[in-house]
Amino acid sequence: MGDELAVPETDERAQFAVGMQAPEAQVEAKVIEMGQARASHTLIAARKLGLPTPLWHAWNTRTRAALSQEAARGTLFLWLPVLLGAGALGYFALPVEPPAYAVVSGLFALSFMAFLASGKPFLRVAILATLIVLLGLTCAKIESWRAATPMLGAEVTTRLTGRVASIEARADGRLRLTVDLISTERPQLRYAPARARLSARSIPEGLRPGDGIQGLVRLMPPSGPIRPRAYDFSFESYFDGLGAVGFFMKGPERVEIDQSYGTWRSSLSALQRLREHLAERLRSRVGGAEGEVAAALITGMRGGIPEEYNEHLRRAGLAHVLAISGLHMALAAFTIIGAARLGFAFFPGFSSRHPVRKYAAAVALLVCFFYLLVSGGGVAAQRSFLMLAIMLLALLFDRAALTMRNLAFAALIVIVTAPHEVVGPGFQMSFSATAALIAGYAVWNAHRIKRLSRKPYAERKGAAKFAHLIIVSICGIALTSLIAGTATTLYGVWHFQRASPLALGANLAAMPVASVVVMPSAVAAIATMPLNLDGWPLALMGGGISAVMGIARWFSEHSPIDATGAIPLSATLCLTAALAILTTTTTSLRLASLPLLAMGLLLISARNLPDIFISEDARLVAVRTSDGALAVNRNRPNAFALENWLRAAGTETVLKPEGLSGAATAEVFARATTPRFRCNEAFCVLRHQHGAIIVHVMKSEAPPSRRLLDELCGAADLIIINDARIDGPCGLGRARTITAQDLARGGSAEISIASTAQERPPFHIAFAVSEPFRPWHQQRQYSRAARGLGPYKRSPKTSKD
Does position 280 have pLDDT exceeding 50, yes or no? yes
> SS3 for 140?
helix
Q: Of 117, 146, 175, which marks where a domain is finished?
A: 146
Residue 30: pLDDT band (50, 70, 90) is: low
Scanning 317-455, the segments in alpha helix (DSSP H) are 326-345, 348-353, 356-374, 379-396, 403-417, 425-454
Does position 798 have pLDDT exceeding 90, yes or no? no
Residue 41: pLDDT band (50, 70, 90) is: low
Average the pLDDT over 519-529 and give the result.
Answer: 87
pLDDT tens readout for residues 529-548: 888 888 898 999 999 999 99
pLDDT tens readout for residues 566-583: 999 999 999 999 999 999
pLDDT of residue 479: 82
DSSP 613-631: EE-TTS--EEEE-TTS-EE
| 139 and 189 fall within a common domain | no
| 118 and 173 fall within a common domain | no
pLDDT of residue 83: 95
| 656 and 707 fall within a common domain | yes
Average the pLDDT over 274-279 and give the result.
Answer: 88
Instruction: Please state whether 520 falls in left (phi above 0), alpha (psi between -120 and 50) or beta.
Output: alpha
pLDDT of residue 263: 79
Q: What percent of the chain has pLDDT over 90?
A: 34
CA distances, 104 to each of 182, 346, 394 (Å): 37, 61, 37
- Pick the closest to residue 265 from 385, 369, 166, 142 (CA basis): 166
Does position 501 have pLDDT exceeding 90, yes or no? no
Does position 763 have pLDDT exceeding 60, yes or no? yes
| 177 and 248 fall within a common domain | yes
| 448 and 510 fall within a common domain | yes
Phi, psi of 77 (to 5 degrees): -60, -30
In a domain, 463, yes or no: no
pLDDT of residue 477: 76
Rounded Cα distance, 288 and 292, in Å: 7
Helix and strand counts by DSSP (H, E) for the chain: 26, 18
In a domain, 272, yes or no: no
Q: Which residues contact 106 (CB under 8 A, 6 or more apart)?
A: 134
Q: Which residues contact 603 (CB under 8 A, 6 or more apart)?
A: 567, 568, 570, 571, 574
Averaging pLDDT over each range in 86-100, 340-354, 355-369, 529-543, which range is the top one? 86-100
Does position 170 have pLDDT exceeding 80, yes or no? yes
Sign of CA dihedral 11, 15, 21, 26: positive
| 659 and 756 fall within a common domain | yes
In a domain, 545, yes or no: yes
Does position 88 have pLDDT exceeding 90, yes or no? yes
pLDDT tens readout for residues 436-474: 988 888 888 877 777 777 766 566 677 777 777 778 777
Average the pLDDT over 426-439 and give the result.
Answer: 88
Average the pLDDT over 341-345 and give the result.
Answer: 85
- Given a contact cutoff of 8 angstroms between Cβ atoms, the answer to whether 133 and 148 are in contact is no
pLDDT of residue 15: 39
Amino acid identity for residue 373 in this structure: L
pLDDT of residue 11: 40
Rounded Cα distance, 561 and 460, in Å: 45
- Given a contact cutoff of 8 angstroms between Cβ atoms, the answer to whether 786 and 744 are in contact is yes
CA distances, 667 to each of 657, 663, 679 (Å): 16, 6, 10
Angle between helices 326-345 and 519-528 (to 10 degrees): 60
pLDDT of residue 4: 34
Rounded Cα distance, 211 and 713, in Å: 57
| 647 and 714 fall within a common domain | yes
pLDDT of residue 122: 81
pLDDT of residue 760: 67
| Number of domains the chain contains | 5
Residue 402: pLDDT band (50, 70, 90) is: low
Rounded Cα distance, 395 and 684, in Å: 68
pLDDT of residue 29: 54
The pTM of the full predicted model, rounded to 2 decimals, is: 0.84
Beta strand 244-248 with 195-200 is parallel
In a domain, 250, yes or no: yes
| 624 and 767 fall within a common domain | yes
Residue 634: pLDDT band (50, 70, 90) is: very high
> SS3 for 317?
coil
- Pick the closest to residue 503 from 485, 484, 479 (CA basis): 485
Rounded Cα distance, 273 and 252, in Å: 19
| 234 and 320 fall within a common domain | no
Phi, psi of 150 (to 5 degrees): -70, 125
Higher confidence at residue 737 or residue 263?
737
Does position 109 have pLDDT exceeding 60, yes or no? yes
In a domain, 24, yes or no: no
Amino acid identity for residue 376 in this structure: G
pLDDT of residue 794: 65
In a domain, 264, yes or no: no
CA distances, 399 to each of 362, 392, 395, 478 (Å): 15, 10, 6, 31
CA distances, 703 to each of 397, 682, 708, 721 (Å): 74, 11, 10, 10
| 526 and 595 fall within a common domain | no
Rounded Cα distance, 746 and 769, in Å: 5
pLDDT tens readout for residues 679-724: 998 999 999 888 889 999 998 878 888 888 888 988 888 999 999 8
Residue 597 is part of which domain span? 569-605
pLDDT of residue 38: 53
- Pick the closest to residue 746 from 650, 634, 616, 621 (CA basis): 616
Q: Of 146, 174, 198, which marks where a domain is finished?
A: 146
Does position 564 have pLDDT exceeding 80, yes or no? yes
- Pick the closest to residue 612 from 631, 596, 594, 627 (CA basis): 631
Does position 630 have pLDDT exceeding 60, yes or no? yes
In a domain, 303, yes or no: yes
pLDDT tens readout for residues 57-75: 666 777 778 778 887 777 8
Phi, psi of 650 (to 5 degrees): 70, 40
- Pick the closest to residue 371 from 275, 305, 270, 282 (CA basis): 275
pLDDT of residue 732: 73
Average pLDDT, the chain: 84
| 601 and 698 fall within a common domain | no
Phi, psi of 425 (to 5 degrees): -70, -30
Label residue 174 exposed, middle or buried (CB < 10 Å: 0-12, 13-18, 19+): middle
Averaging pLDDT over each range in 238-242, 303-307, 404-408, 698-702, which range is the top one? 238-242
Phi, psi of 318 (to 5 degrees): -115, 15
Averaging pLDDT over each range in 19-33, 153-167, 292-306, 371-385, which range is the top one? 153-167
- Given a contact cutoff of 8 angstroms between Cβ atoms, the answer to whether 421 and 88 are in contact is no
pLDDT of residue 420: 93
| CATH number of 243's domain | 2.40.50.140
Rounded Cα distance, 643 and 624, in Å: 14
Rounded Cα distance, 469 and 482, in Å: 20
Beta strand 212-220 with 195-200 is unpaired
Rounded Cα distance, 686 and 690, in Å: 11
pLDDT of residue 17: 38
Average the pLDDT over 23-33 and give the result.
Answer: 49
Please give the sequence-ordered ranges of beta strands (E in DSSP) within 501-650, or none if there are none. Answer: 612-614, 621-624, 630-632
- Pick the closest to residue 113 from 144, 94, 96, 134 (CA basis): 134
Cα radius of gyration (the chain): 31
Does position 399 have pLDDT exceeding 90, yes or no? no
Rounded Cα distance, 147 and 144, in Å: 5
| 750 and 649 fall within a common domain | yes
